[in-house]
Every structure is written in C-alpha cells, then in structure tokens.
Structure 1
Amino acid sequence: MDLPGVVSFFLAFCIAGLLILLLWRRPSSRAELPPGPTPLPLVGNLFQVNVQNIIQSLFRLQEQYGPVFTIYTGSQPTVVLCGYQAVKEALVDHAENFSGRAPMPILDKKFSDYGVVFTNGERWRQLRRFSLMTLRNFGMGKRSIEERIQEEVQFLVEELKKTEGHFFDPTVPLSHVTSNVICSVVFGNRFEYEDKEFIALLGLIQKIIVLLSSPWAQLSNYSPRLMQMFPSPLRKLAVYMDELKDFISRRIQTHRDSFDPNCPRDFIDCFLTKMEQERENPASEFLEENLTVTVLNLFFAGTVSVSSTMQYGILLLLRYPEIEAKIQAEIDQVIGRSRSPSMEDRTKMPYTDAVIHEIVRFADFSPVGVPHVVTSDTHFRGYIIPKGTTVLTFLTSVLQDPQHFETPRKFNPGHFLDENGAFKKSEAFLPFSAGKRVCLGEALARMELFLFLTTLLQNFSLGTLQDREEINILPITGSAGKFPQPYQLRVVPR
C-alpha cells in the first residue's frame, strides 16, 4: 500500500474510532449501577451473553456477580435480578418503582404502544383495571369461566377417544383446547378442531413463537439499529402479527354488527360497552386500537403458556408413572368417574395440587419474564438505578432458588407437600411474576391446568413409545424460552 493509501486508511480508522466513542454514550451514573461484565462499544455485553441460551448465561453471571448485576444491550444498561429475595424486594417491596414496562424493539409500535401488556402510565392503569375486573366477574349472569373450561375439556376427551389407542403428537390437541378457552372468553365462541381458520390461526401463533424464541430476536433486542442493516427472519414477524391483528379486527366488527349493550356476551362486548360509556371522555383509553391489541395480548398469552405447560406436564407423568397412579387414586377417591372435576375439588386433592404446582415450576414457561423499567431513580440494595433503566427478573432463578426448593433442578412434587402430605405453599412460586405487573391470566391458567389434568387422568391412562427410564425431561432451551422434548403419546380409556 502506497503512502497516500496508508494515510487514508489511518484517517478512516481514526474517524471510525471517534464515531464509536461518540456513539458509546455511557450513563453518567454507571458507577452507581450494580456490577457486571465490562461492555464493548455498540454491542455491549453481546459476547458475554449467549443469545442461543440466555438462561445458562444469566446463571453464570449470577455466580460471578451475585443476585443483582448489570449487563449492557448495546449502549443501554439492563439490571438483572436473580433469586426470590431480590425479585420480591423489587416487585413487591418497591412495587411502584419497578412497575414500568420496558420497550420491545422487535415489536412494531402499533403493538407495543397499545394494549395492556407493553404500555405504561394511565393507559396501562385503565386497561389493566378493566381487564382484571372483566375476567374476574366475567359472564354478567352468563356461564362462568369454569363452566367454559369444563365444557372445552370434554371436547378434548372426545377428540382423544378418536385416536383409538394410536400414538400421536399431543401438541396440536393441547393447543386447540387452551386456545378455545381463551376464544370463548374474548370472542364468545369456540372453534371446531377441524376448522381451517382455527388451524391457520394456531399455525400463525406457532410461527410467531418460533421467531420470538430465536437468537435473532435477542440480537435485535441487543442492537436494534444494527440488526436493521442485515436481512433477518424477524422481518416476517410484522407480517404474522398483522395477520393476527386482522383476524381480531374482523371478530370485533362481527361483534359490532350484533352488539347489544344490555347483554354482553364476552370480553369484546364488555369493552365495546365501556367505549360507549366513555365516548365523551377525552381522557378515556377505551379506544379501538387498545381493544384490538388487548384482545391480541389475552388471546396470544392464553393460547401459549398453558398449552406448553400441559405438554410438559404429560411428558413428566410419562416419565414417572407412579405419580400418574397417585393422582388417579386421588381422583377416584374425591371425584369418582361419574361427574366432571370442579375447582371445589382442589382443596381435597393435595397431592394433585402439589404435582400441578411442581409441573408449572419445572416447566418454567417464562424464564426471564417480560422486561420491566424503573419509573424513577431508584435506590436498591446500595445502588442507584436511573429512571428508564430496563430491569430483567430472572424467574428461573426464583423457581430454582435452593433456599426454597430442596432439589431445585429435579422434578419433585414434595416441594409442595408437608410431612403430613398436606399441600404446602412456597413463597418462591412466582411463575406468573409478582407485583403490579403480575400476569393477568394467572387465575385462569391455574384453573385450566387443574381441570385439564384431572379430567384427562379421570378418563385416560397415558402411554408412550419409549421406556420410561429413557424419557428425556430436560427442556429444549431456546434463546429465551424452554420447551419440552417432542414425544408421542397414547391414551387408553380407563
């Protein structure tokens, strides 16, 4: 290379270095944040966090830096909370400070700026208050949510009888049953399992889950601007989300065409009623965009979490047939086989209740939760977390906290049983998070899991192709999620 070329290269190198330094704007209060690995310009701690297995990376960093540490996503700090005590102190003891929701770079603003999950301030308060009230008092004199679940699980029983003892992948029927429950709540009707629109809808949700669980999604959260420069499968995410939104918009219009404010049929009707009541209120958040995205929030979450947990639960019962047998004995003693299980039965079935809790703990369907953001400068454990800082609650470290669970990495229903065999609560059982942002659908999910599992085992015994000892119950760990190993199931009528 000649001298002018060397000079040009040197100048270009200096300019690039200067630009990097200008772009790397460290917060002035960085010294007061919790400790953590040293970040690099532009990419932050990308090389210290394995985007293909964030869970493992966070455990490693927890061992090195303790229960509260800081990592950088690009130039922005993220405080990570590990273990029950740290998470509880933040979300419960300092509930208001940690009640904000962090922005999601991979979501279009028409999804992140509306609805009940990702919004903040007055919009979030109004929508959450309304959604909780509607879900709790759902029906307005109509059928209760429990009755809807009982009805849907009977459709599942009939569907499983059609397998006639053959092996099948349980993913599809379990997705159908959980999705139909939330469809009944928000749309007022269920879908037949063979309905092509329903099948396409569930396929759409599966595609979205795959993308959100991919390393591309985590890379986008780390460096959203940088990732926009490269071709990525995430470009399809906006297309899939728009298709889901269009489906919901069509259902809302169908409701409008037959709307009777004196006889609300479901969540959409209740929201439409509220829109009419607050038509003249300029501060009202009961708007079309919020209706659409709130329904999308409920529909998506209600379909995914319980379905995945049930799939994992059945796999665990296949691995431990003695646990299946004990549950069936308790079912026979308390419920019998002539009536459907009800939520009143749960208090009389401590072993079944303990197994369901342990399934949820072990399945760990939301390992890192949905990111929070602090709403003001917050003093926490001797550090200062500046307003607007993203906070990650590492829920896996809570559900596997060795101070609260004797064998945290193993499946053990004894975690929720006392020495007399009675059900024992654990304060570290926080799969739905805690505080002001606790999952809206927690009560519904708990109800579904109990009624689904007891009805399934009341009617069937479970079988598998594999030897029980060879069944792998370790999860498939994606970039930020955990999924059960695929398996084939056979159900035999009892």
Structure 2
Amino acid sequence: LAVMENLFLQLNSTTILLGTVGILLLLYVFLTNFDHKRKEPPGPRPLPLFGNLLHLNLKSFHMTLYEIKRKKHTPILILNIGRRRQSQCTNYKNIDYTCLRPAWELGRIKIVTIFSLGNGIVFGNGESWKEMRRFALTNLRDFGMGKKAAEDKIIEEIQYLFEVFDRHQGQPFNTGQSMNYAVSNIICSIVYGSRFEYSDEEFRLMVDRVNYNIRLAGSPSAKLFDMYPWLFQWTSNRKRLTRNVTENRNQIKRLIGRLQETLNVHMCRGFVDSFLAHKQKLEDLKITDSHYNMENLVSTVSNLFAAGTNTSGTTLRWGLLLMAKYPHIQDQVQEELSRVVGNRQVRAKDRMNLPFADAVIHETQRFANVLPVTIAHKTSTDVTFQGYFIKKGTTVFPLMTSVLWDESEWETPRTFNPAHFLDKDGKFFKRDALMPFGAGRRACPGESLARMGIKEDDLDLTPAVGLTLAPSPHELCAVSREENKVN
C-alpha cells in the first residue's frame, strides 16, 4: 500500500487529469445512450461534446445522412448534434406518418429563430401559429391562390419574364435572378396587392437578400452555429445573416406602413390589407391581446417570400436546365403543347390534356431535390415508432433525399425520367412518394399557388423558347423557336 501511495504522489497533476478524462471517456462510450429496456433508433456512436459532428460533411449534410441511412439499412436514424438529439425519417411512409401525427410538433431550432423570432406561419408554435396559419390559408384563397385570379397574375408576370429573356438576344445569361424576380412578384401581387418593376431597387434588394440568406443558412458555419450557438455565435456568416434578416424585416415594415396609410378596410388590396383590417377590427372591440400584431404580420409576410421565392424559383431554374440538357424531352413537350394548345395561351385547365408535360414537371420536382432536408419537427411526448423509442424533445428531420432516391419507389431514382409519372398507356398518374410541399399540418400553405406557378411558367416557357446549354453550366441561351425555324 505504501508503494502505491508513493507512486501516486510521484504522478503530476497533468497525468492525473488525463487519466481521469480517459476513464470518463470509457464510461461515456460504454454507458451512455445504452438502454436495455427501450430500443432506440440506430445511428453512429456519438463522441463526448462533439456528438456525431465528425460523422457529418457540413457542405453536403443531406448526402451524409443518406449514406449513413444506406449503411444502417434503417427507416429512421438517431444522431447527437450539439446538445440536441435528432432523428431522421428516411422513407416516405414514415415521413407522411410523422407529419400527420399530433405528437410530432415543430422544433424551435436556434438557426431558424434568426429568420422569424418564433412568429409567423413557418417557425411559430402553439395558438399563435394555429391562428396565423388559419388566417393565411383563408385569405390567400380569397385573393386568388389556386384560382383564376392567381392564374391571371402568373400569366401577366410571364410576359415580363419573356421581355427579360428577349433582351439577351440569344446570348448566354444566368436565369436565376430573373426567375426569382418573377416568382417574387407573383407573391407580391397577392400579399401587397401589386407587383414591382424588375428595375425597382428596393424590390431587387429584398429578393436578392432573401435568396442570399437561404444560401447563408445552409453554409457550414451556420450549421455549426445551430449545433453550438454558444461557441459559433460570432461567425461572419451568422452576423451577416442576422443583419440581412433585420434589414428585410425593416423593409417589410416600411412597405406595410405605406399600405396602412392608404388602408380601406372595405376594399382590401391583398393579404396585408386583410390582416390590418382584421387587426383594426379587434382593436375597435378593445381586444388588445390577440395574435394579430405587427410582429406576426412581418414574420408571416417574410415566411411567404422566403419559402415561396427560393423554392419555386429554384425549381423553375432546374426545369429550364433539364430541358436544355435533354432536348429530346423538350421536343416531346413542345409537340404535345402544339397539338393540344396550339398558339393560344396555356391555362391551368389544360393540364388534364398534357400528361407528358405534367410528368416532366413532377419529375423535375423529384429529380431537383430542392429541399433535401425539410423543416424540423419536435416530439412533444415520448414516442414509440417502428419499434423504436424516441424521447420527448427529440428534433425530427424528414430526409427527402432518401425518399426521392428510394429504389423501392422509383425505377431509376438517379436519372431524370418522366416515365416515373406515366402509366403503360402514357397517362399521367400521381406518386405518393413525391411530397415537394410537405405533409400534415405543417405542409406549405402556398402549395396551390406554387403548383400553378411552376406548371404555367414551365409550360409557357417551353413553346416560346428553345433552350440550349451555353459554355458555362450556369447559363442558358433563350432562342425563339420561330427564329430557329427561319434559320
């Protein structure tokens, strides 16, 4: 015993510290996250402090999750990221089930609160979210979402888009900015009651900032901030993102203020007018503690623009790029349009008679995989799912990449193939595994507008211009088909 005591005294404090840490690490590896009674979903073993960070490629987050899923052969994964446990649903039946089940509630994640401060229709929670979503769905329908009124706005905007394309006179150009302006203007006409000129500096700043913010939010440094907010709150991307969000919210407040000055509660021009009229009505009744406040209005408008502009604009860009890459598919779409529609304006009602074009649009949404990991949910209670136990408070991410590349659902998942949506007779049929707008109570409130916009923009652009790949992979040439016939 005396020998052991002397040996211990000879050890310096650093050695003792390292030995203690080593023992704690061994205890952590063998004892944590190990429950004999309750079976948790499979996943890579986390490390102390880092969790599963070292298993992830932050530049391609969804691909990392997809590869882990393939190796584990499981419909649901569990990861430890930062201080949070996260579960990833990886097939469409599981995603559809979890999104429809009341126990799975939206998780308040640090990175998203930068966008909305916990208000609005995307990142809000509780009674405020329920009331805002109900009001948004009702009023967006009233102002034409999914109806002929919205269709007319889309057709009008397409003509302005054609003018932009014509100005390039067949030379290569980046379609991103003009497509985003067009999509955003359709939203503006419903939300504010009027569109903006593409040259309007205020409008350009607003749209460009929204799309830049989406890119910043997907950057590795933003993901690190999401995982370890106490450590990465001073990163440049996080600060830039916060500044841009603040500037956009201030800009939205200024636009709302202008509408408020000329508000006529008996003749609402758009969604904002309707919200302000309802707010004023409640205030006249001396109801001052309602959810109809300026913060909720600004957040809701911001949500509509951020979600609608980026996703729809990106999908449309993918559509143009794929038509350029596969000219034989573009020619088939053109032949069907010429045969069914002729020279008149394409309308939403024509979709029933355009099965191949409809299949191309749906396959574009699948193949593009614009939103590979959808918005987070959080379990409000302990849940047993597929035989696995998931703790209360676990953040749940539906992994859409796994659904859209699922070999059991799609014949050629990694290939652009419109036949995925055509039966043996060449008629269009819907595939349940395609869920571009989410599912359940958190599904996109602008789904009908987005569907109409994507279809009409794609169908209108195809007969008007023939697209070919320019030397740069991010640029296209828009050439009139009539000019091609002459040449």
Same fold (TM over 0.5): yes
Q: 1:451-466 counterparts in 2 under 5 A? A: 451-466=456-471
When residues 378 and 281 of structure 1 are mapped into structure 2, their CA distance, relative to the original with a 3 A threshold, is farther
Per-residue deviation, 1:414 = 0.1
Could you report, residue by residue, the CA deviation over 1:38-73 in whole angstroms, capped at 9, with x for unpaired residues? Answer: 111222100112111112211221123211110011
Which residue pairs with 1:448 in the alignment? 453
Per-residue deviation, 1:307 = 0.8
Could you report, residue by residue, the CA deviation over 1:345-377 in whole angstroms, capped at 9, with x for unpaired residues? Answer: 111111110000000111111101011111222
Per-residue deviation, 1:19 = 10
Q: Does 1:256 align with 2:260?
A: yes
SS at match of 2:58: coil
SS at match of 1:262: coil
SS at match of 1:461: strand
AA matched with 1:303? T
Q: Select which of 49, 53, 77 maps to 1:46.
A: 53
**Are the equivalent residues in 1 in contact too, given 2:191–2:270 (CA < 8 A)?**
yes
Q: 1:366-377 counterparts in 2 under 5 A? A: 366-377=371-382
**Are the equivalent residues in 1 in contact too, given 2:404–2:413 (CA < 8 A)?**
yes
Per-residue deviation, 1:258 = 0.5
Q: Distance between the aligned counterparts of 1:62 and 1:88, measured in 2?
A: 18
Q: Distance between the aligned counterparts of 1:291 and 1:19, measured in 2?
A: 50
AA matched with 1:46? L
Could you report, residue by residue, the CA deviation over 1:442-481 in whole angstroms, capped at 9, with x for unpaired residues? Answer: 1111101111011112222222335xxxx9xxxxxxxxxx
Q: Distance between the aligned counterparts of 1:22 and 1:290, measured in 2?
A: 47
SS at match of 1:486: coil
Q: Select which of 229, 233, 237 maps to 1:233.
A: 237
**Are the equivalent residues in 2 in contact too, given 1:416–1:424 (CA < 8 A)?**
yes
Q: Select which of 278, 284, 291 maps to 2:282.
A: 278
SS at match of 1:277: helix
Q: Distance between the aligned counterparts of 2:166 and 2:447, measured in 1?
A: 30
SS at match of 1:52: helix
Q: Does 1:333 align with 2:339?
A: yes
Which residue pairs with 1:86 in the alignment? 94
Q: Does 1:220 align with 2:225?
A: yes
Could you report, residue by residue, the CA deviation over 1:141-173 in whole angstroms, capped at 9, with x for unpaired residues? Answer: x98111111111111112222222222111121
Q: Which moved more, 1:159-168 or 1:25-34?
A: 25-34
Per-residue deviation, 1:231 = 3.6
Which residue pairs with 1:75 in the alignment? 83
AA matched with 2:69? Q
AA matched with 2:479? V
Q: Distance between the aligned counterparts of 2:50 and 2:295, measured in 1?
A: 34
Q: Does 1:360 align with 2:370?
A: no
**Are the equivalent residues in 2 in contact too, given 1:369–1:392 (CA < 8 A)?**
yes
**Are the equivalent residues in 2 in contact too, given 1:26–1:75 (CA < 8 A)?**
no
AA matched with 1:81? C
Query: Please, which runs of 5 or more residues in structure 2 have no aligned partner?
Result: 1-7, 483-487
Q: Distance between the aligned counterparts of 1:202 and 1:23, measured in 2?
A: 48
Q: Distance between the aligned counterparts of 2:353 and 2:187, measured in 1?
A: 27
When residues 275 and 204 of structure 1 are mapped into structure 2, their CA distance, relative to the original with a 3 A threshold, is same
Larger Rg: 2
**Are the equivalent residues in 2 in contact too, given 1:104–1:112 (CA < 8 A)?**
no
**Are the equivalent residues in 1 in contact too, given 2:279–2:292 (CA < 8 A)?**
yes
**Are the equivalent residues in 2 in contact too, given 1:103–1:112 (CA < 8 A)?**
no
Query: Please, which runs of 5 or more residues in structure 1 have no aligned partner?
Result: 472-484
Which residue pairs with 2:320 in the alignment? 314
SS at match of 1:153: helix
Q: Which moved more, 1:197-206 or 1:370-379?
A: 197-206
Per-residue deviation, 1:489 = 2.5
Q: Distance between the aligned counterparts of 1:160 and 1:244, measured in 2?
A: 28
**Are the equivalent residues in 2 in contact too, given 1:107–1:238 (CA < 8 A)?**
no
Which residue pairs with 2:4 in the alignment? none
Could you report, residue by residue, the CA deviation over 1:375-421 in whole angstroms, capped at 9, with x for unpaired residues? Answer: 22222111222222100100111122222210011100000000111
AA matched with 2:450? A
Q: Distance between the aligned counterparts of 2:275 and 2:386, measured in 1?
A: 42
Q: Distance between the aligned counterparts of 2:397 and 2:323, measured in 1?
A: 32
Q: Does 1:268 align with 2:282?
A: no
Which residue pairs with 1:207 in the alignment? 212
Could you report, residue by residue, the CA deviation over 1:248-287 in whole angstroms, capped at 9, with x for unpaired residues? Answer: 0001101110001111111101111221233344662111
When residues 4 and 270 of structure 1 are mapped into structure 2, their CA distance, relative to the original with a 3 A threshold, is farther
Which residue pairs with 1:175 in the alignment? 180
Q: Select which of 125, 134, 141 maps to 2:130.
A: 125
Which residue pairs with 1:478 in the alignment? none
SS at match of 1:278: helix
When residues 370 and 448 of structure 1 are mapped into structure 2, their CA distance, relative to the original with a 3 A threshold, is same
**Are the equivalent residues in 1 in contact too, given 2:112–2:123 (CA < 8 A)?**
no
Q: Distance between the aligned counterparts of 1:113 and 1:345, measured in 2?
A: 41
Q: TM-score, normalised by structure 2?
A: 0.90
Which residue pairs with 1:55 in the alignment? 62
Which residue pairs with 2:311 in the alignment? 305
Q: Distance between the aligned counterparts of 1:110 and 1:463, measured in 2?
A: 37
Could you report, residue by residue, the CA deviation over 1:176-212 in whole angstroms, capped at 9, with x for unpaired residues? Answer: 1111111111111111112222222222123212211
Q: Does 1:292 align with 2:280?
A: no
Per-residue deviation, 1:77 = 0.9
**Are the equivalent residues in 1 in contact too, given 2:115–2:245 (CA < 8 A)?**
no
**What's the Cα RMSD here?**
2.7
Q: Distance between the aligned counterparts of 1:170 and 1:110, measured in 2?
A: 26
Which residue pairs with 2:162 in the alignment? 157
Which residue pairs with 2:199 in the alignment? 194
Q: Which moved more, 1:104-113 or 1:348-357?
A: 104-113
Q: Distance between the aligned counterparts of 1:463 and 1:5, measured in 2?
A: 77
Identity of aligned residues (%): 35
Q: Which moved more, 1:288-297 or 1:105-114?
A: 105-114
When residues 181 and 387 of structure 1 are mapped into structure 2, their CA distance, relative to the original with a 3 A threshold, is same
SS at match of 1:38: coil
Per-residue deviation, 1:22 = 13
Which residue pairs with 1:390 in the alignment? 395
Q: Distance between the aligned counterparts of 1:261 and 1:22, measured in 2?
A: 66
Q: TM-score, normalised by structure 1?
A: 0.88
**Are the equivalent residues in 2 in contact too, given 1:79–1:392 (CA < 8 A)?**
yes
Per-residue deviation, 1:106 = 2.0
When residues 146 and 6 of structure 1 are mapped into structure 2, their CA distance, relative to the original with a 3 A threshold, is farther
Q: Distance between the aligned counterparts of 1:29 and 1:148, measured in 2?
A: 57
Q: Which moved more, 1:421-430 or 1:111-120?
A: 111-120
Q: Distance between the aligned counterparts of 2:272 and 2:91, measured in 1?
A: 38
**Are the equivalent residues in 2 in contact too, given 1:29–1:386 (CA < 8 A)?**
no
Q: Distance between the aligned counterparts of 1:428 and 1:146, measured in 2?
A: 27
